[in-house]
Copies of this chain bind each other. A is one copy, B any other.
Amino acid sequence: MDKVRVIIAGPRGRMGKEAVKLVFHEEKFELVSVLDHKHDQKMLHEIDDFQLYENIPVYSNVEECLQKSNADVFVDLTTPEVGYLHTKTALQYGIRPVVGTTGFTQEQLIELKQLAEEKNIGCIIAPNFAIGAVLMMKFSQLAAKYFKDVEIIEMHHDQKLDAPSGTAVKTAEMISLSREKKQQGHPNESESITGARGANFDGMHIHSVRLPGLIAHQQVLFGADGQSLTIRHDSYNRSSFMSGVKLSIETVLAINTLVYGLENIID
């Protein structure tokens, strides 16, 4: 079988670096070029941190990159601003995009979906490539059909500013779609110290732990008479996203529409 020919846009970002490593070393893939607005006409190994990657041309113009690379898949790990333009251009050239940026508007998504279907090719846009986290959310949504009592505990390093985490809120939203509405806890419960019972999201409680040493962890706890079911995801480092990038590259070749969210290619 021929290798899948892949372009990576945004190689110097944290996810970009991991993606270069993944695609370069994965046997089924071939890294054919990178798109980097800061560098042009160089070879990748001339850029800091990429000395080991030989024979990979760098382009700064997306059209030139697409024209010269003869790629199958265009992986975009840039920013929402240029990500939209890159994705649209790739689709126009008939190259299947795998996009890891957030912030697309509803209108942009609809437009890109129409374009993908017109061109009869796949396009995957995923705000979270960590398959484990996506499975945790998916399983939580399913479990909530049978267990209407659920609390979420998310735990992160103490440099995190916001609470609850985005993943915790996303999980709660997904659970809300499937669980019978319920205000949890005893109707007469009271807090002797304010905040003990956590944040209340649609009747569910979310607790945010912040400690040095921790990275990114979340558990979703379901309770019912005589039992509990816990779904937990631990993310130790950025490489956790790469299994999702790999799955997306493989999947985008087999579909001919736009799919938003990794949860929709996992079944």
Contact = CB atoms under 8 A, between A and B. Distances in A.
A242 to B, nearest CB: 6
Given A131-B224, A214-B228, A231-B232, 18 more contacts: A131-B146, A139-B139, A145-B266, A151-B209, A153-B207, A158-B223, A159-B186, A162-B189, A163-B192, A191-B199, A194-B199, A195-B199, A198-B207, A211-B228, A225-B240, A228-B233, A229-B232, A229-B234
B210 A193 contact: no
A195 B197 contact: yes
Most buried by B among A151, A191, A210, A238: A210
Given A198-B195, A226-B238, A186 B160 contact: yes
Interface of A: 130-133, 135-136, 139, 142-143, 145-147, 149-151, 153, 155, 158-164, 169, 184-186, 188-201, 205-215, 221-243, 247, 266-267
Contacts of A230: 230-234
Number of this chain's copies in the assembly equals: 4
B201 A198 contact: no
Contacts of A185: 158, 210
A150 to B, nearest CB: 8
Contact of A188 (B142, B161, B213): B161
A12 B188 CA distance: 29
B225 A242 contact: yes
A83 to B, nearest CB: 23
